[in-house]
Structure 1
Amino acid sequence: MAIAPPSPGSEAALPPLSGGPHRARLGLISIVACFGGLLFGYDTGVINGALQPMSAELGLEALTEGIVTSSLVFAAAFGALLGGRISDGIGRRSMLIALAVLFLVGTLVVALAPGFAAVVVGRVLLGLAVGGASTVVPVYLAELAPFEIRGSISGRNEVAIVSGQLAAFIVNAVLGSTLGHLDGVWRIMFAICALPAIALFVGMLRMPESPRWLAERGRREEALAVLRSVRADERAEAELAHIEARLDAAAVAPRGRARLRALLADRWLRRVLLVGVGVGVAQQLTGINAIMYYGTSVLEESGFDRSAALIANIAPGIIAVVGGLVALRLMDRVDRRTTLLIGFSLTTLCHALIGIASVALEPGDPIRPFVLLALVVAFVGAMQTFLNVATWVYLSEIFPLRVRGLGIGIAVFAHWLANGALALAFPSLLEAVGITGAFFLFAAVGALALWFIARHVFETRGRSLESLEADIASGELFARR
C-alpha cells in the first residue's frame, strides 16, 4: 500500500530541531516561568512546619487548623478555573505577571496577619495565585516547546513545585530548630515566599507571549518573532504554518461562554474533559498531599518526636526532587500512558505496604518510625518519578487550542477540589483510623485509578499539539487507543 506524503499539519512536515542560541533562550524562558511552580510548591509546603507554631500563637484547634490548611487549596480550585479562562483572554504571559503580584500580596497578608481570619484571607489569596499558576505555567511551557522535547520542558514546572516544597521543608526545619522559641517564627517562614514572587514578576516582564495564543489572535508577525527566538528560522516558519493550518481547520475560536458551550457540546471534547478530570483527581487521591501538608504529623504518629519529625520530613522532599529529575529524563522516552500505569501500580503497592507495616509493627517498636519513613519516601519517590510530572504534562497537552485554558482550568479545578477535600479531612481521618486505615483506603482508590487509566487514557507523546487536536476533532485518537 502506498504511504501518503505528510500533510502540512503533521509532525513529519516540520524540519528537525537544531542547536543554537534559541535553545538557550527556551531554557531561560522555562526557568523564569517555573518560578510560578516554585511559589506553588513553597506555599503548599510551608504549612507543614508552620502550622504548629501558628496554632500555638493564634489558639487554633483541629477544625481551624484544617480550615487554614485547606483554604489555600479550595481557593486554588477557583484560581485554576479562573486563571485558565482569563489567560485565554489576556494571554499566558500577562496572566503570570498578574499572578506574581497576587502571590506577593497574599504572602504579606499572611505574614502580617493579626489573627485567624486574616490568615485565612491571605491563604485564600495565595490559593488563587497557586491555582492560576498550576493552570497557566504548564500551558505556557507546552505552547512554547517543540513537540520533540515538550515533555521535558513542561515537566520542569513539576520539578520546580517539589523544589519549592523541599525549600519550605528545609526552611521550616532550620527556623524551627533555631528560632522555634519565638512566637512569630511562622511569619518568617511565610515571608520568605516574597522573594520568588518578585523574581517571577521581574522575569516575566522580559519574557515573550505564547506564540500559539498570538497566532490564534491573528497576530502573525508577533507569533513568528517569538518562534524565531526559540527555534531556527526554517523551523519557526514551518511551525507557524502548522499552527495556522490547524486554526483554519478549526475555524474561528469561540469566546467567553461560547467556549464552555463548545467544550460541552462536542462529543470528543467531553471525552477529553473526562480524561483530564479523571487523571487530575486520581493523582490527588493517591494522598500525596497528605504527606506534603501533614508529613510532620504522619511521622509523629509513626513514632518520631516533634524535632526529629521536622528533620525526617526533609527526606520525602529530597526524594521528590530526585524523582522529578528522573521523570524529566523519562518524559520524552516513555509513553505518558505507560508512565501513568507504572506510577499508579507502584504507589498503590506502597500504600498497601505502609498499611501492613503499621499493623505489624506496634506503636513503641523502635524500628516502626524508620520503616514507615522508608516506605513513605518510597511512595513519594514513585509518585514523583511516574505520576506528578506526567500528570501536569499530560493535562497541558490534551485540550485543543480554542478551549485549552478553559479545559485545563476545569480539569485542574477538579484536581484542587479533591486536594482540598483531602487537606480538610486528613487530620480527622488520621485521628479516626490512624495510619493503617488511611493508607489502606488510599490503596483501594489507587486500584480504581489503575482501571480508569487503562480504560480511558490515550497517548500524546511524540505528537504536535495541532495533530493531537486534529485527531481529537475526528475521534480518531480514541479509536487508535
Structure 2
Amino acid sequence: MSSPTRNAFLYSLIVAFGGFVFGLDIVLISGTIKAITSEFGLTALEVGSIVSGPGWGALVGLICTSYFSDKFGRKNTTLVIAALYTLSAIGSAYAPSATFLFWARFLGGLAFASLSLASMYIGEIAPPKSRGKLVGLNQLNIVIGIFIAQILNYYIINGTEQGAAWTLSLGLNAENAWRWMLGAEIIPALLWFSALFIVPESPRWLALNGKEEKAKAALAKITEPEKLDQEINEIVHSLNDTDHHTLSLAQQFKLLFSSKMRIALIIGVVITIIQPMTGMNAVLAYMPTIFAQLGGSESSAFGQTVMVGGIGLFFTVLALVFIDKLGRRPILLGGLTWAIISLAVVALGFFNATYMLTAESLVTLKESMDVNLLQSLLNTEFSSDVDFKQAIENKIGREQLVAYESSIMTAATTINGLMVLLGIISFQCAYNFSLGPVVWILLSEVFTTKVRAVAIPLCGFVASVFGGIIVPLFFPWQLENMGAVSTFSVYLVCCFIGLIFAYKVIPETKNKTIEQIELELAGK
C-alpha cells in the first residue's frame, strides 16, 4: 500500500470514527428504556421522545452544517461536532430528570451531522477505485459502535442482575446502571476529538474557496505523484463554470434544485427516506424490547441482541470487501430483496404467536409479583400481543406492567422464537450488507462539489426526520397500539417501494470520479 493510499485510509478512518460514537449513541439508550420509564414515570410516547431526542437535534445541526462546513471547512466543523458528542454524553449520564435527558440527547443530535460530513469529506479525498470502501468505513464504524454498545448493555444488565463483584466494586446497581450505559460514550468522543487534529482539510473544499496551492498540497498527501497534476486540474476545471467562490447558500440551493441536479437530488432524498423507513433504527434502539416480546429474561434479551449485532458486523465488513467489485446497484437491489423476505419471516412469526396465562405461569410469576389480580385472565388465549398487554394493564396498571412486562411475556408467550430471531438476524445482515453502507456511498458520489455542502446535509436532514424522529418516536406507540405484526409489515412495504425505486432510478457509480458521475446524471 503506497503512502498516499495509507494516508487516505487513515484520514477516512479518523473522520469515520464519528460513526462509532453515533453507533454507541443510538444503541446505548436501548439498555436504559425500562429503567428510565420506571424512574421518570414515562408513557410510550415520552419514551419515544427521549429515544428520538437526537433526531430533533440533528435537524438543527444539519441546517447549520451546510453553512459551517462551507464557511469554515469540513475539518473544523467536524471538531465542533466531536465536542458536542462529548458534552451530550456527560449530560445524559448525569441527567436528573426526563426533560434534562431529552435536551442532553438533543445536544448529541446536533452531532449526528458527523455522518453527512464524513460522507462529504471522505468522498472528496478518496481515490475513485477505493471510494466505496473508504466511505463505507462510516457504516463500518457505526456497526462496530452498535456492537460494542450491545456488549456493554448486556454485561451491565447481566452484572447487575447477578450482583457481580465488578459491578459492586464500581458502585453499579440496578438503579444507576442506565447512567453508566449512557456515560460509556464519553471516552470515545474525547478520543475522536483528539484524533481529528491529524486530519488535513479537504482539497476540494480548499479549491472551492480559491486556495488552489493549499488544495494541491493537501491532495499530494492522498494522491500518487504522477496523478497529482491531472486530478487538481480536473477539480479546478469542474469548478470553473460558475464563480462559486461567491455563491451564497441560497444560490447553492437554487443550483441544487435546478434541472441539471434533479436526478441526483431525487436519488439522494428518496434513498435517505427509504433507509430509515425499513425500520432498522427502531430495531436497533428497541431490540431488547422486541426480544422481550418473544419471552425470555431481560438478560437473555440483551444476549440475543449482542449475537445479532455481531452477525450484522460481519456482513458490514463483507459489504466493504465487495462494494467496489460488485458495484453499488447490484448490492442495493439484492439487499432490499433480502430485507423484504426477512421482514416477512418476522411478521409471520409474530402473526402465529399466542399469549395465555396458565396456572403454571402464574406460579412462575408469583416469585416476582402479586398475581391475584391476574386470576381472571387464567387460560384466556390472546392472538394479539396488543390485546394481551392491554388486558394485563387493565388488571395491574401501567406501572406494574412496565416493571414486570418481560416476566409476564416470558410466562405467557407461545411463539416460534427461533423463526423471529432468525428473521431479525437476516434483516440486519441484509441492511448492513446493502442499505447501510450503500446509501452513504451514493450520497458521497452523486452530488457535485459545487453543491455538496448543502446537498449532503439536506439528505442527512431528511434521514434524521425519518430515522431520528418518526421511526423511533412512534415505534413504542406502534408496538403498543398496532402490534408487532402490523409494525413489521409497514417496514416490509417500505423496503418493497425502495426496491422498485432503486431498480428504476439509481445508476451504477463504481470506479467513476465525482466529476464523471456529475456529467452522467446531468445528461439524464
**TM-score, normalised relative to structure 2:** 0.84
Equivalent of 2:455 in 387, 403, 407 = 407
Structure 1 match to 2:374 = none
Q: Equivalent residues in 2 for 1:432-443 (5 A)?
A: 432-443=481-492
Q: What is the aligned partner in structure 2 of residue 470 from structure 1?
A: 519
Matches within 5 A, 1:131-142: 132-142=113-123
Q: Find the partner of 1:230 among 197, 215, 222.
A: 222
Three-state SS of the structure 2 residue aligned to 1:205 is helix
**Alignment pair present for 1:424 and 2:473:** yes
- The answer to whether the Cα contact below 8 Å between 1:35 and 1:199 also exists between their aligned partners in 2 is no
Equivalent in 162, 167, 172 of residue 143 of structure 2: 162
Can you list the C-alpha shifts for 1:251-296, whole angstroms capped at 9, x where unaligned? Answer: 43522221112222x1131332121110011111111111101111
User: One-letter code of the match for 1:56?
Assistant: S
Partner of 2:4: 22
Structure possessing the higher radius of gyration over alpha carbons: 2
CA deviation vs aligned residue, 1:322-342 (integer Å, no higher than 9, x gap): 111001011101221222111
Among 287, 291, 296, which residue is 2:279 paired with? 287
How does 1:35-54 map onto structure 2 within 5 Å? 35-54=17-36
Count of aligned pairs between the two proteins: 455
Give per-residue Cα distances to partners, 1:28-57, cap 9 Å, x unaligned.
212211221111111111111122222222
Select which of 155, 159, 163 maps to 1:174: 155
- The CA distance in 1 between the partners of 2:235 and 2:296, in whole Å, is 55
The DSSP-based 3-state class of the residue aligned with 1:218 is coil
Q: Identify the residue that residue 422 of structure 2 maps to in structure 1.
A: 374
Name the CA distance, whole Å, in 1 between partners of 2:249 and 2:241. Answer: 20
Q: Which amino acid aligns with 1:426?
A: F
Instruction: Identify the residue that residue 201 of structure 1 maps to in structure 2.
Output: 193
1:367 Cα deviation from its structure 2 partner: 6.2
Aligned counterparts of 1:106 and 1:361: Cα–Cα separation in 2: 40
Give the CA deviation at 1:365.
6.5
Question: Could you tell me how far apart the structure 2 residues matched to 1:56 and 1:113 are?
Answer: 15
CA distance in 2, matches of 1:385, 1:465: 23
Structure 2 residue aligned with 1:129: 111
**Does 1:115 pair with 2:163?**
no
Matched, 1:183 2:175: yes
The percent of aligned pairs where both chains have the same amino acid is 27
Distance 1:461 1:185 in 2: 45
Shift of 1:84: 3.4
Paired amino acid for 1:165: I
How far the C-alpha of 1:22 sits from its partner, in A, is 2.1
* Pairwise CA distance, 1:361: 4.4
Please state whether the residue corresponding to 2:198 is helix, strand or coil: coil
Partner SS state of residue 244, structure 2: coil
8 Å CA contact retained: 1:143, 1:210: yes
Local SS of the residue matching 2:351:
helix
Output the amino acid matched with 2:105: R
Per-residue deviation, 1:170? 0.7
Distance in 1 between residues matched to 2:490 and 2:16, nearest whole Å: 33
- C-alpha distance in structure 1 between counterparts of 2:465 and 2:139, whole Å: 19
Find out whether 1:332 has 2:324 as its counterpart.
Answer: yes
CA contact 2:8–2:222 (8 Å) conserved in 1: yes
Tell me, yes or no, if the aligned pair for 1:152 and 1:328 is still in contact at 8 Å: yes
Is residue 2:267 matched to residue 1:275? Answer: yes
- In structure 2, stretches of 5+ residues that fail to align are 162-172, 356-411
Q: 1:84 to 1:100 in 2, by over 3 A?
A: same
Q: For 1:93-135, what per-residue CA distance to the aligned partner results, in whole angstroms no more than 9, with x for missing partners?
A: 11110101111111111111111111011010001101x1111
Hey, what's the Cα distance between the residues in 2 that align with 1:287 and 1:386? 14
When structure 1 is superposed on structure 2, of 153-162 and 330-339 the one drifting more is 330-339
Moved segments of 4+, more than 4 Å: 363-367
Secondary structure (helix, strand or coil) at the match of 1:72 reads helix
Give the letter for the 1:392 counterpart: W
Pairing 1:241-260 to 2, within 5 Å after superposition:
241-253=233-245, 254-260=247-253
- Give the one of 218, 222, 231 matched to 1:239: 231
- Which stretch of the first structure deviates more once superposed, 85-94 or 367-376? 367-376
Residue type of the alignment partner of 1:98: V
Q: Deviations over 1:224-256 (max 9, x none)?
A: 111111222122222111111111134435222
2:442 pairs with one of 394, 402, 405: 394
Which residue is equivalent to 1:91?
73
- Spell out the pairing of 1:71-90 with structure 2 (5 A cutoff): 71-90=53-72
Number of the residue aligned with 1:461: 510
Tell me the equivalent position of 1:106. 88
Gaps of 5+ in 1: 1-18
Could you tell me how far 1:59 is from its partner in structure 2?
Answer: 2.6
Name 2:384's counterpart in structure 1: none
Conserved? CA contact 1:72–1:124, under 8 Å: yes
The one-letter code matched in structure 2 to 1:138 is S
**Structure 1 partner of 2:333:** 341
Q: Could you list the per-position Cα deviations for residues 2-51 of structure 1 after superposition, in whole angstroms to 9, with x for gaps in the alignment? A: xxxxxxxxxxxxxxxxx422222222212211221111111111111122
Between 180-189 and 362-371, report the one with greater CA deviation.
362-371
Partner SS state of residue 240, structure 2: helix
Match in the other structure for 1:14: none
Q: TM-score, normalised by structure 1?
A: 0.91
Task: Tell me the distance in 2 between the aligned counterparts of 1:57 and 1:140.
Answer: 41
- Name the counterpart of 1:3: none
Distance 1:347 1:310 in 2: 23
Give the SS at the match of 1:401: coil
> Over aligned residue pairs, what C-alpha RMSD do you find?
1.6
Which residue number in structure 2 is paired with residue 221 of structure 1? 213
Rounded to whole Å, the distance in 1 between the matches of 2:177 and 2:345 is 36
Confirm or deny: 8 A CA contact 2:352 2:415 kept in the other structure: no
Partners of 1:449 and 1:226 in 2: CA distance: 38
Once residues 148 and 431 of structure 1 are traced to their aligned partners in structure 2, the CA distance between those partners, rounded to angstroms, is: 47
The 10-residue stretch of structure 1 (432-441 or 238-247) with the greater mean CA deviation from structure 2: 432-441
Contact 1:80–1:134 under 8 Å retained in 2: no
- Mapped to 2, the partners of 1:415 and 1:268 lie a distance apart of 23
Amino acid corresponding to residue 316 of structure 1 in structure 2: V
Deviation for aligned residue 1:459 = 2.3
Check whether the contact 1:85–1:409 (CA below 8 A) recurs between aligned residues: no
> What amino acid is the match of 1:470?
L
Q: Please say which of residues 55-64 and 95-104 is displaced more in the overlay.
A: 55-64
Residue 264 of structure 2 aligns with an amino acid whose one-letter code is V
| Distance (whole Å) between structure 2 residues aligned to residue 320 and residue 89 of structure 1 | 38
Q: Distance in 2 between matches of 1:290 and 1:206?
A: 35
CA distance in 2, matches of 1:129, 1:60: 26
User: d(CA) in 2 for partners of 1:188 and 1:139?
Assistant: 33
